[in-house]
Every structure is written in C-alpha cells, then in structure tokens.
Structure 1
Amino acid sequence: MGESTIEVLERIIRSDGEIEPARAAELSELLDEPPIKDVVALVERSTATRAAVVLRLLSRRRSIAVFDALDAVHQADLIGALGNADVYGFFAELDPDDRVSLLDELPAEIADRLLRALERTERDVTGVVLGYPKGSIGRRMSPEVALIYADMTVGQALAELRRTADGLETIYTLPVIDRDRSLLGVTSLRDLFTAEASVAVAELMDKPTFANAHDDAEETARWFLPLDLLAMPVVDDSRRLVGILTVDDAQDIVESADDEDTARSGAHEPLQQPYLSTPLLKVVRSRIVWLLVLAVSALLTVQVLDTFEDTLAAAVVLSLFIPLLTGTGGNTGNQAATTVTRALALGDVRKRDVAQVAWRELRVGLTLGSLLGVLGFLGAWAVYGLPIGIVIGSTLLLVCAMSATVGGMMPIVAKGLGADPAVFSNPFISTFCDATGLIIYFLIAKSVLGI
C-alpha cells in the first residue's frame, strides 16, 4: 500500500523543520491536497519548528484555518517558531474570544505587542472580552453580535445582516434589543427569511434564554448544551447585550473541563495540547508534583502498618488480604467520587446537598459491602477458618460503607472550599481509604481474634 500524502510530508519535512528549498513549491502543492483535518493532525503531531514550516507552506486561507483549529496552548508554543509577520496575520484573523485564550498563554510583553498590532476596532472588541474575569462566560463569548432592534422591520433587519454578516460570529440566532441595548428577546434568520419584509421584528421574537457575562463558564456551558440551541445572548448586570455564546464554543469549554478533570483524577495536570507536540519537560512537570504529593501521603499507610506490626506478626495470614481490602476501598471511593463530581458539573448536585449525598452513598456502600462481605466471608472461611472469615466479611462491609460516603462527600467539600473537585478525587481518596481501611481491618482483627 502506498504512502498517504501526510506520510510523505512527515518524511520529507524533518522534525527540525529543515527542507530542501527546491522542494518548497512541491510541498506547498502537496499540502493543498489532504482534507484540512489531516493537515491539523499533521501539525498537532509535529514539533513547533516543523509545524511552523507547514503553516508557512500552506495557502493563506488554509494556514489560518489550521492555526485557528489548534488549542490556545499549542498556538502559544508556535509563536516563537513563527516569524512576526505570520504571527500578526494569524492573530488578527482569530475571533476575539480565541485571541483572549491565546493571550492568556503568552508572556505579557508578547501579548501586549500582539494587541498593539491589531487595528483599533479589533483591539476594542478584544478588550471587551479581556475585561471579564478568567473563568467567566464573558471571557469565552464573542462580542461581535448583530444589532437587531425590536422596532425594525424584517426588511431593515435583513439589510443590517447583509451589511455586517462578514464580521459576526453567527447570524442564525439573533438577539433582539431596544435602543439602549437591553435584551428583549431572540429571533432567528429562518424567521426573518420567511416573514414579510414589512412585519415588525418584535412580532417574531421569542422569550430569550441568556447568561450573565460574569457567570461561571463551565457551569453555563453545561446547562446551555442540553437545550439544543445554536447560540444564546450574553448580558451584563443591567441586562444589556454584550455578546453571544455559540454552541461550538460551549462544547470547547466542556471538553476542556472534562479533559482537566480526567487528567487530575489520574494524578497529573492536563497537557492542554496534543501529546506528541508537547515538550518532554512539560510532560514531566505535569506529573512530578502529583507523584511527590501522593508519595508523601502514602506514608500515612506505611505508618498504619507500622502501628499494627504486632497484630500482623501474631496472625501473618492477615497480610494476605491487605491488597484486597485496600483495593476494594479505593475503588469504591473512586466510583462515588467520580459519580458525584460528574453530578456537580451537570448541576444535578449542589453544595447544600452534602448531607443528602452522604446518606445516599452510605446506603449504597452498605449494600455493596454486604454483597462483597458475604463473598469474602465465605471464601476466607472455606480456606482459613471461621474467625478469619468474620474479619474479612466485616471489614469489607465497613470499608465499602466508609469509602462510598467519604468519596461522595469529598468533591462537594472541595467545591465548598473553592477547590477543583477533581483535585480531591481519585488519588487522594484512594490514599485516605487505604489508611482508614487498614485501621478498620486491624481493629476488627484484634477484636475477633483476641490479639
């Protein structure tokens, strides 16, 4: 089977970005052949130097589309490899919200230089987004929105859209405002297109679904997406229209948040860019802090084992079940934590529901512990006798109940403290449940076995 165009390009363009000057025209033509998604994948798999060469070889339209498709962190990495002219061109073509995401990843002096290079109108709309706090929906909205007034006719509104469409984020969902920019309703291009030109826009508008610009971006995106809307208006505290949030931007917000939660639940920081294009030291930094923290926290488990050393010496058979009990406790706690963290993100659970969640998870844990405890009791009894069976069965029951309760409460407690629930999720819960489960195990063993 012959090589694909992308495979040919990967072979010809070295990782250090070096190519034969005579082959530049040939490579440029080759890059126009594959679908844009394949070129994006090529850039994502490349070092910053090779990616910069690929972007320069692309036609202007395709290079802008590829650069726009990259994550902001990846874009920031490419800034140093691209020439000033390329950087300014790509930056100017980004939407205001995407510009702000890129600026957040750049050193202050570079960010300031890029802003000053923008035309005044583009700098002003970018400044609107920059004015909102990080993490707010105002930081992720587009301020480029059509100004459709309720006292317009359909003909006037369509004429306004034709005049300004090229500079707008979307024209399919249209906020309707009064002359003070106060949001009155929403209409759609379909409604305008199918109505008579003389009909007033006010007759076509529906009650608006909207968000405040200071609302949390992730929470807003999560309740917005299930509504199956293409976009929704964003307003200030006086309900004046300041921008619009599109469904694709909301999806990006949720995807980024889910990636972060997944990474932290696996005890590392998110890379925020494709794996193969991430510098090696950045991958190390994303993991080392968590490994150090977990190594220190694991000393708690060591201390528990040291405390009950005499108990283990008196009944060596107890050591055989330690992996089973710690693994079961950690897994039970992680299951509860993952479920509740997801429920928090979706808005199904709130901070004030902590007692209700604890009671629910306690009952779930007791049910799971009963089932596992019976199996553990029968297996241990058959091999090691009745007393060991009682110890193992009782421990599984209590460990599951404890782990599920703690695992369910921990994300809510973390959110109440202003921390990311994912940070207090799987890694810390596993360590806590290991140590606590061992304490329960040895206390039951001492009581039942009389040691």
Structure 2
Amino acid sequence: MTQQVTFTRDELRDALSENDLTRLSAMLHGADPGEIVEELRRLRGEDRAIVFRLLSKDQALDVFERLDHPTQGDLVRLLQAHETAAVFEDLDPDDRVSLLDELPAGIAAKLMRGLSGGERELTAVVLGYASGSIGRRMSPEVVTIPIDSTVGQALGRAKSRALEAETIYTLPVVDQSRRLLGVVGLRDLLAADEASPVRDLVVKANTAQATEPAEVAARRCSELGHLALPVVDHEDRLVGILTVDDALAILEEAESEDQARMSGTEPVRGHYLATPLSRLVRSRVVWLLVLAIGASLTVQVLEIFEATLSQMIVLSVFVPLLIGTGGNTGNQAATTVTRALALGEVRGRDWFRVVRREMAVGAMLGVTLGGLGFVITGLLYGLGIGSVIGLTLLTVCTVAATVGGTMPLVAKAVHADPAVFSNPFISTFIDATGLLVYFGIAKLILGI
C-alpha cells in the first residue's frame, strides 16, 4: 500500500514561491488526492498548472476528476493541449461535456478532435441536448440487458462492462429497438438461478425524459431513493442513465444558485479564494445597480410626503421599522414558496391557494405585530400614532406576504428563476408600497 504523505499549506506555498520543484514533487508524491484537490482549488494561475504538471499520470487523472468544472476549465486553459488530451479522454462523457461548457469554443473543438472515435460519439450524444436538460447531465455509458437474456447472460454482460459503465447496480432492460421495458437490480440477478429468464425479474422503471430540466429529474431520483434513473427519449428509447451521485451534485448546484440569487448576486462557481476579484465584482455589481434603481422609488415616495413629515416629525422615526418588517415578511413568504416549488409541493395551478394562504398568514402576523405596535407606541406617543402604526403593520404584513408568495409563481409562469424574483426585488417593492400605505393611513387618521 502506498504511504500517504501529507504537507502543510505553508510548505506548498513556500516551495512554489522559491520555485523548488524538487521539494514540491517530493511533497506531492504519494499525497492524498483529496488534499491535492483542495490546494489546487485555492491556487491561481501558473501555480495551479505547475502543481498539476508535477503529478504522476494516475494522480493527475484522479485529481482532475475530483475538481469542479470551473477549476477544470481554468486548468485546461493553462496547460498545453498534449498535457490535457489523455486526461480528457479518460473522463466520463457527462463530465467531459460539463468541462467543454466551461471552455472557449476553440479549445473545446481542439479537445473534441483529439478524442478517439468511440469517445467522441458518446460525447456528441450528450452535447446534442440543450443546456440545463437532464440529457446534458446523463451518462450514455449504460449496460443494457436484452429482454430475452437469461440471468447468467445478464451477469456476464454486466461483468464484462463493469469498469467502463457508469453503474451496474441498476440495469435497464430493453427490446431490440432499445425501447426501455423496465429495470433489474444486480442483487436480484445474483440471487436468481442463472438459467432463469431475465423477464421474470424485470420491474417497472421510473424514468426521466432527456429534454426535461436537470433539477426536476435529479429531485425525482433523490426523492424516489433510486441508485440510478434511466433517461429516455420521446419514444421511450433508452439514451442514458442518471446516477444518484450526479443527481445530488445537480441539486447542490441548484441550491447554491438559488441562495446566491436570493441574496442579490450571481453564483460564483469554483473556489472562493481562487476566484479573480473581477469575477466577484461582476457577480454582484449588476444586481446592486438594479436594486439601487429600485430603491430610488423609496426616495421618491419620501419626497412626495415631505410636507407630511415636516408637520409631524415623529412619523419619520418609524419608517425603518415599518419597511424592514414588510421586507422581512415578504422575504419569508418568497423563500417558503420558492422552496415548495423546488420540491414539487406547489405548482403553477396552485397560485390561488398560495395567495389565499399567504394572505391569511400575513393578516395573522399583521394582527400580532400591529397589536403590539399599537399598545407600545400608543403608550409612548398617544393613541393616534399607535393607531397609525398598528394599522400600517397589519396592512403591510398582509400585502408583503401576499406579494412575496405570489412572485415566485409569477416567475415560474414566465419561465424565469423564482429565486431572481425573491428577496432583493420584494424588499424594494415593499419599501415603496409600505411607505405609501403608512403615510396614507397617517393622513387619514391624524388629518395632516
């Protein structure tokens, strides 16, 4: 057994800064691949390429497969074509396509031309599907079992392709036209008599359409608890398979993207410490500009009611409280409904039920918060101010929850990302609306 050599981050950085390749090579020899991956993701530019060049062939393939796709893409751009050709050839077709999506067209075409005929054909199958579809993320390397096989023949077929296939634990059973008839588990095959026909062990298969969204298919695979989900075309012909580890990776990417957009930024792919500052700025600046423009509505509302504020300065004290409460209420509703959409608990046709529920929730929250606001501000500033605050909180919470719950459904209806319509935009909208409600109630009750 090869002894696993460990090194500290400082030792690696010192060797790189001193350009001591002999010491660096000794550190990497026999080192844990996971440790090398972590350090590569933290490094930038030529340092990353230098470390990768010093790895043995087996180490290089193992490490490269463990890297996320943006880091793989950055590494390929730094290395010479001949240095990446062998690694690219050994990748699985779905991983190969994900890497190609990260590369400039010229480099991608050059790598594709360097593939062997069989690997190029498998990669082309995955490339043929639209970005974002499960066909783009599936593996076309599937062990299929003909329906007229015996158990012994099926086991032999699985054993002969065990090293090249994505998985052999779930085996699709097909007819002569490659139409999917069901699946059979490896455990069931091992437990059966080798002379038994496979058709006696076949069970109905849950499938994914190759053109459906990757996140939808991945969530179905995860919820069903399957090790793999066959992927079929519109004629139920088998085109690939989605394994549970790939499904979980897709869901993790989707969750990271949703969390970033709910916070008003584009997701940063790759390791944070190795991401160029320019890319971090680009991921945030557009959203900040959009939100700044939206926030100008709040300023305009304040200007409209400037005379009202000048007559009763105390009203300005409660502005942050009211718009903050409204924004938080809307964000809570949006986050809840966005999650329900992602899990399939809510669909577009449920919009009326969602609106009704969120309106009721908002009203109940408004009664609770408004009641407290009425009592506290009434004691401190008089019943008039207390009534204004209480009614404003009741109205703002109801409106905010209703709008927050509706926006993700509107986004879904127009085929946009629900997370984009969530927290930042809702906060801006509720700020302006809340001020209009606040000053309108104040003028009505206080007569100013």
Instruction: Say whether the fold is shared (TM-score over 0.5).
Output: yes
- Asked if structure 1 preserves the Cα contact closer than 8 Å seen for 2:28 and 2:36, the reply is no
Q: 1:209-358, aligned counterparts within 5 Å? A: 209-358=206-355
1:128 aligns to 2:125 (yes or no): yes
Q: Distance in 2 between matches of 1:38 and 1:4?
A: 8
Structure 1's 162 and 323: CA in aligned 2 closer, same or farther, altered over 3 A? Answer: same
1:27 aligns to 2:27 (yes or no): yes
Q: 1:79-158, aligned counterparts within 5 Å? A: 79-158=76-155
User: Helix, strand or coil: the match of 1:242?
Assistant: strand
1:383 aligns to 2:380 (yes or no): yes
Q: Distance in 2 between matches of 1:327 and 1:33?
A: 52
User: Helix, strand or coil: the match of 1:202?
Assistant: helix
Which stretch shifts more, 425-434 or 201-210? 201-210
User: Which residue does the alignment assign to 1:7?
Assistant: 9
User: Helix, strand or coil: the match of 2:439?
Assistant: helix
Unaligned runs of 5+ in 2: none
Residue 8 of structure 1 deviates from its aligned partner by: 4.5
Residue identity in the other structure for 2:31 = E
User: Which residue does the alignment assign to 2:62?
Assistant: 65
Residue identity in the other structure for 1:89 = A
Structure 1's 415 and 13: CA in aligned 2 closer, same or farther, altered over 3 A? Answer: farther
Residue identity in the other structure for 1:395 = T
User: Helix, strand or coil: the match of 2:424?
Assistant: helix
Normalized against structure 2, the TM-score is what?
0.97
Q: Distance in 2 between matches of 1:4 and 1:143?
A: 37
- Asked if structure 2 preserves the Cα contact closer than 8 Å seen for 1:6 and 1:39, the reply is no
Residue 78 of structure 1 deviates from its aligned partner by: 1.3
Residue 264 of structure 1 deviates from its aligned partner by: 0.6
- Asked if structure 2 preserves the Cα contact closer than 8 Å seen for 1:6 and 1:42, the reply is no
1:390-434 CA-partner distances (Å, limit 9, x unpaired): 000100000000000000000100111111111111000000000
Residue 4 of structure 1 deviates from its aligned partner by: 6.2
- Asked if structure 2 preserves the Cα contact closer than 8 Å seen for 1:211 and 1:233, the reply is yes
User: Helix, strand or coil: the match of 1:175?
Assistant: strand
Residue identity in the other structure for 2:212 = D
Structure 1's 6 and 150: CA in aligned 2 closer, same or farther, altered over 3 A? Answer: farther
User: Helix, strand or coil: the match of 2:121?
Assistant: helix
Root-mean-square deviation (Å): 1.4
Superposed structure 1 runs of 4+ greater than 3 Å apart = none
- Asked if structure 1 preserves the Cα contact closer than 8 Å seen for 2:392 and 2:438, the reply is yes
Residue identity in the other structure for 1:163 = S
Q: Distance in 1 between matches of 2:402 and 2:219?
A: 26
- Asked if structure 2 preserves the Cα contact closer than 8 Å seen for 1:304 and 1:439, the reply is yes
User: Which residue does the alignment assign to 1:50?
Assistant: 47
User: Helix, strand or coil: the match of 1:165?
Assistant: coil
Normalized against structure 1, the TM-score is what?
0.96
Structure 1's 65 and 278: CA in aligned 2 closer, same or farther, altered over 3 A? Answer: same
Q: Distance in 2 between matches of 1:409 and 1:180?
A: 46
Q: Distance in 1 between matches of 2:51 and 2:351?
A: 52
1:242-292 CA-partner distances (Å, limit 9, x unpaired): 100000111111111111110011111001111011111001100111111
